[in-house]
Structure 1
Amino acid sequence: MRSQQLMRWYKTLLAAFGPQHWWPAKTAEEVIIGAILTQNTAWKNVEQAIAALRGAGALHFKAIAALDTETLVELIRPARFMNLKARALQSFARFFGERYGYSIRRMKQKPTDELRKELLSLYRIGPETADSILLYALEKPVFVIDVYTKRIMSRHGFLSMGHSYEDFQALFMENLSADVQLYNEFHALLVHLGNRLCRPKPLCDQCPLRGIA
């Protein structure tokens, strides 16, 4: 029942909004950098920081590892909380270099559960950031949960906002096929819906899910 309902939602959102082409990045490392920078800030701010890193030739972790902290802080200043995020980027750069030799291919070979534990042990990498890295950068079938997803699912009576990240994640992963493309597109569509219509003050009369059982 839940599986069929979720797939109806997916098909309805895809028909309404079209493919989202998320994550907007040219490389897996750029996805990871963006996933760290987007914490607690708008994506437009992240885009400015990424442009600055690209202009400095530092949009990959080997270059980030070689930067001094002050330079990195200034480059990512538009993303806000730049001191914390600079430390997070440097922490990931050390981990990525020491554990995987800056190789995304080698990183992808690690079993998902083990890799997720490694990511969660890093500075300022929580479940949402870890799962964004796993899904969007490393193409692992892990459904990402964020504030938009929680808000939408709670308003439609699936779970309350008081439920845990893991509860919301299980709702999707236990009822959908473990398909990277499906998880990618479905999550991106929910983000689009939450950003555009299912806001703190919702525009329910415009929602494509209105009346969908």
Structure 2
Amino acid sequence: MAEQVEIHAEDLHWLLETLVDNHGQQDWWPAESFFEILVGAVLTQNTAWSNVEKAIANLRQAQLLDPEKIIAVSDDLLTAAIKPSGYFNIKAQRLRNLCQAYLQAGGYSGMAKQTTDDLRSQLLQINGVGRETADDILLYAFARPVFVVDAYTRRILSRLDWISGEEHYESLRRAVEFAIGPDRGFFNELHAQIVMLGKDTCRPKPRCTQCPLISSCAYPRQNDP
């Protein structure tokens, strides 16, 4: 049974407001179509977003941003296109798996008819789609009010001393969702802001003096950043 995790709504609102004041609105996820979000959610596994952008640009130039084309194209052409995202052989197969499931479900309209829980279950049955990838797709492609837990989230919330950082994915996701309620816009912007802070400032070796959270963060008081 998943452990109980408590995160306070006022803390999350403070976090979002502080980060928006610092970074501005992010309007994430950057994509030109719903299907492109699905592709990006797979390609972003274990790599920086800048690398995903290069891979998606390659797919667009090769006219491969289409599920049927991704399934039909040769391995050589597909892996060459997505090579900037890393682990390209594995990700090529994961993309094909996702595209097959996408088409079998009736495309976007077919998937969109499902409840959030049913759609999450279906996504998690696809080989290569884990919880974070599934929730990326639910939140950004299908506009469902779910919170995405990633490595940046664990790092930042644990340095704030709100969590240990070792919580089960579902426990942490549900704690945030329980605190806020079904607010898709909030989850969208909070995740985007966390990504911004995690990649630019709250890095494995943090740049605490540049961080807008420094006055309320436990990490610089406990360490020598």
TM-score, normalization: structure 2? 0.89
| 1:3 CA displacement | 0.8
Q: CA deviation at 1:168?
A: 1.9
Q: How far did residue 212 of structure 1 move?
A: 4.3
2: CA distance, partners of 1:210 / 1:141? 29
Q: Which amino acid aligns with 1:110?
A: Q
Unaligned runs of 5+ in 2: 1-6, 218-225
Identity %: 41
Matches of 1:180 and 1:73 in 2, distance apart?
34
Q: Does 1:63 align with 2:59?
A: no
Structure-2 residue corresponding to 1:118: 122
1:162 correspondence with 2:166: yes
Residue of structure 2 aligned with 1:179, choices 175, 180, 183: 183
Within a 5 Å distance, the mapping from 1:32-181 to structure 2 comes to 32-100=38-106, 102=107, 104-181=108-185
The superposition leaves residues 115-169 of structure 1 with CA deviations (integer Å, 9 ceiling, x where unpaired) of: 1011111111011101001001111111001100100001111111221112221
Q: Is the 8 A contact 1:62 1:93 kept in 2?
A: yes
TM-score (norm 1): 0.94
**Count of equivalent residues:** 211
Give unmatched runs, 5+ long, in structure 1: none
* Deviation beyond 3 Å, 4+ runs, structure 1: none
Aligned partner of residue 214 in structure 2, secondary structure: coil
CA offsets 1:151-194 (integer angstroms, 9 cap, x no match): 00011111112211122212311101211111100100011111
Shift of residue 60, structure 1, vs aligned partner: 2.0
* CA-atom RMSD in angstroms: 1.5
How far apart, CA to CA, are the structure 1 residues paired with 2:113 and 2:83? 34
Higher mean alpha-carbon deviation, 161-170 vs 50-59, is at: 161-170
- SS of the residue corresponding to residue 170 of structure 2 reads helix
